[in-house]
Amino acid sequence: QAQLVESGGGSVKPGGSLTLSCVASEYTFNGNTMGWFRQGPGKEREGVAGIFTGGVATFHDDSVKGRFTISQDKDKKTVYLQMNSLEPEDTAMYYCALRRGWSFGEFLRNSASKDWGQGTQVTVSS
């Protein structure tokens, strides 16, 4: 079964940066919507950013616009989330997700079928 492999989480101080990676090596890369969700302590899972693999469209939640940037490397079948100016409120488990087809609406819908990575913890604390 194909898997999404995440890396890059860790602990940083407020204002710091991290880059998350998600490798989809066993998938047909192009033609999917991939991105990141997060779930903080006591909070529901929320969509953070998405990208059309093989395309150019991206989505960033208002809470991260101007601070986080999603990108892709098609040759490496990898999606990245560059996170700058991190805040304590960004502390969460971050999950990579993949849904076949290009649709941010469907990608973000909680009940929509998606493949998930195992999650990587991001902690922002002074």
Instruction: Please report the DSSP string for 27-66 in residue order.
Output: S--TTEEEEEEEE-TT---EEEEEEETTS--EEE-TTTTT
| Model confidence band, residue 110 (pLDDT cutoffs 50, 70, 90) | confident
Mean pLDDT score, 33-62: 96
Mean pLDDT score, 88-99: 97
Are the C-beta atoms of residues 65 and 49 closer than 8 Å to each other?
no
| Model confidence band, residue 118 (pLDDT cutoffs 50, 70, 90) | very high
Mean pLDDT score, 2-25: 96
Statement: residue 36 has pLDDT above 80: yes
